[in-house]
A and B are shown apart, each in its own frame.
Chain A
Amino acid sequence: MTVALRPRAAAPWALPGAVVLVVAGTVLSMKVGARPLSWAELSDGLLHFSGAPSDFVVRHVRLPRTLCGLLAGACLGLAGTVAQGITRNPLAGPDTLGVNAGAAAAMIAVMTAGIGSLAGHVWFGFLGGAVAALTVYAIGGSGRDGATPVKLALAGAAVSALLTAVTSAFVLLDRDLFARYRYWIIGSLARAELPTVGQALPFAVAGIVLAVLLVRRLDAVALGEDASRSLGARPGPTRAAGLVAVVVLAGTATALAGPVVFVGLVAPHAARALVGTAHRWVLPLSALLAAGLVLIADVAGRVVIAPEEIHIGVTAALLGGPVFLHLVRTRKVAAL
C-alpha cells in the first residue's frame, strides 16, 4: 500500500538546517553555563578526566544535561507528531491522550506514599501515563466505530479532567507535597544525571523505532477515515500502535525532563510548515526541531538570570510561543 501525498515544494534545506540547529544547540549547551568552558577544557573533560573542576562540570553537569535535552526533545517532537497524526487533531499532544494527567496523578500517588527520591518517582510517572492512555483508548475505542479521533479526544479530555481533579485535591491540601510536585511539573534539565539517561535510552530507542515503522500508516490515516479504509489501510491498529509510541516517547521525555508539553505541540507544526505533510519528512524534522528547541531553551534559561536558572518548561514556551503564533497567523495550521 502506498499513498501518494501532495509533495510540497518544500525547503530542501529544512533537514540539513535542522541538523545544524541541533549541532549548534549541543555545542552551546556544552560550552555555556555559570562559567563558559574553553574547547580544551571541554575535550579534557570528555576524554581525559583528571579531577579538575571543569572536568566535573563537563562530566556531571553539562554532558548529562545535553544528552537529556537531546533525547527528551527528540522524543517530544516524535510524540507530538504521532499524537497529532493518529488523532488528526492539530492541537493533539501527549496531554490530549491523558498521558500527562496520568503521569502527574501517579507522581502524586508515590510522593504521598513517600517512596524514594524524585529520580525514583519518574518511572512511576511513566507507568501512570501508560495506564491513563490505555484507559482513554479503551473508552474512546468502545462502541461501533472504534477509536475515532473525536471519541479519542473526548475520552482524553474526560480522563484528564478526572485525574487532574484528583491530583489538585491532593496537591492543594498538602503544602509539602505541593512544593515537591512543583519541582516536577515545571520541567527541568537541571536534575539530569547520566544513569537516568542510560535508563531512558532503551525506551527512547523503542519509541523511535515504533514511530519510524508507522510512517506510511500515519500518512494513510491522515487522509481520513473513509479514504484510508478505501485504500485498504486499517486505521484502528495504526491508532493502537501510535498510542503505544506516544506513551513510550512522552513517558521517556517526561522521565528525563518533566512534562514539557509545549515542545511536542509546536515542533510538528513547524516541521509541517517547512516540508508539508508527508510523515517521512515531518517525523525526523519534528524530532530535530524539538531537540534544538529544548537545548537552546535550556541554555537560555542558564544565562538570563544567572547565577539562578529558569526552568526549561518556562523558557521553551517563551521561545516556542512566538514561533507558534507566527505559524498560526501565516499558515493554515489545521492542514493535517
Chain B
Amino acid sequence: MVHALGLSDRLVGTAFLDAQVVEPYAAAQQGKPYTADLPQREALLAANPDFVLAGYNNVFTTTGDESISTRADLAALGVQSWINAPLCPSADGLSDEAIDPAQVSMETVYADLRSLGRVLGAQQRSEELVAELQAKVATVQERVAGKERPQVAILLNDDDGSYRVASGIDFGTRVLEMAGAENAFGDLTERRHVAVSKEELIARDPDVILTSTCCDASYTVADGEPDVQQIRADPALAGSTAVREGRVYPFLFADRAAGIRAPYAAERVADLVHPE
C-alpha cells in the first residue's frame, strides 16, 4: 500500500511478506530493508518507526504467538499504528473475533487508502489510486455480469493432509464475488479460516478450487503448484468436480487480503472461472 501511495522512500523496514509485491510495485520493494519473520517488539522499536502499518490483526493482539505489541502500547511510546479496517480489532486483544462482516468490503479498502493518504500526506495520490482500483474492478465486473456464478472453495493445505477453507468473513469471499463467483463456504462466518472435513468438501463439491499458498516474499502464483498437486493427488477428492475437470488452480494467500491486490486478484480469478 505504501508503495502504491508513492511513499516507498519512507519505509524503514518491511517484514513477513506473504508473496512477491504485486507487479506494478514490485520494483519499489527492491532494496528495502526486509526481514522474513515478524520482528520481535525490540527489533521493531530499534528501527525507530513513527508509524507501523499492519495488514493483519494478530500482530496487535494482547496474546498469541504473532503478537508484537498492542496499538495502545505503541501509542504510549509515540508510535502511531494502522491496520486495515476490514480486519481491525475493535479493541486491543481481539483477533478474528473483532471482524465486522459488514466492514469486509472494497469500500472499506478505498476508505482506508484515502485515510492513509491523508495521514501520510499523499492525499492526491490516494485519490488517483482509488480511482485506478475502482476502474479495474468495474472492468472485471462488467465482463462477468450476468454470467453464472460458479462455486469456488479457497483451500489451505495443512501439514497433516487436512484442509481449512476461507470463510464468508475472509476478504477472499469479496474477491470471488468481484470475479463473478461465489465462495462455496461463504455461509461460515465465525472465523476467517475453518477446518472442514474432506467429507464436507466432497458434499459441497465446489466447481473450482483455489489454493492459498503462503508465505514467502519470493512467492508468485507459480509457487502454488505443489499445493495444487497435493489436492489433485488426494484420493478422497478424486471424484470432486473441481479435480475431475482439472479446475484446481494455484492462488496466493496475499491475493485475498484486504488491500490493493484484491482488484488484481479478482481480475485473475475472473480469467480462471470464466475462461470463455
Which residue numbers of A lie inside 8 Å of B, CB to CB?
Answer: 33-35, 51-53, 55-57, 59-62, 117-119, 175, 178-180, 183-184, 188, 190-191, 193, 302, 306-309
With contacts A61-B199, A307-B188 taken as known, whether A118 is within 8 angstroms of B238 at the C-beta atoms is: no
User: Across the interface, do A60 and B160 meet the contact criterion of CB distance under 8 Å?
Assistant: no
Chain A residues positioned under 8 Å from B240 (CB to CB)? 53, 56
B→A interface (CB under 8 Å)? 65-66, 158-162, 188, 194-200, 202-203, 205, 235-240
Q: Chain A binding site: helix, strand, loop or mixed by DSSP? A: helix
Extra 4 A-B pairs, beta carbons < 8 Å, given A56-B236, A184-B160: A35-B203, A53-B203, A117-B159, A191-B160
Complex interface: chain B residues within 8 A of A56 (CB): 202, 235-240
A190 touches B160 (CB 8 A): yes
Complex Cα distance, B235 from A276, in Å, reads 45
- What is the bound-complex CA distance between A44 and B214, given in angstroms? 39
CB pair A57–B199 under 8 Å, yes or no, is yes
A180 adjacent to B159 (CB under 8 Å)? yes
Closest CB pairs A-B (n = 8):
A60-B236, A34-B199, A34-B200, A56-B239, A183-B160, A307-B200, A33-B199, A60-B235
Alpha-carbon distance A53/B201, docked complex (angstroms):
10
Give the residues in chain A near B194, CB-CB below 8 Å. Answer: 307-308
A-B contact pairs, 22 of them (CB 8 A): A33-B197, A34-B197, A53-B240, A57-B202, A57-B236, A60-B236, A61-B197, A61-B198, A62-B199, A117-B159, A118-B160, A119-B161, A178-B65, A179-B159, A180-B159, A188-B160, A190-B197, A191-B162, A306-B200, A307-B194, A307-B196, A308-B194
Cα A53 to Cα B204 with chains together (Å): 10
Q: B237 → chain A, closest Cβ, in Å?
A: 7
Out of A55, A180, A307, name the residue touching B197 (CB < 8 Å): A307
**The one of B66, B160, B195, B203 that contacts A308, using a Cβ cutoff of 8 Å:** B195
Partner among A52, A55, A179, A191 whose Cβ is within 8 Å of the Cβ of B161: A191
Return chain A residues, CB-CB under 8 Å to B237. 56
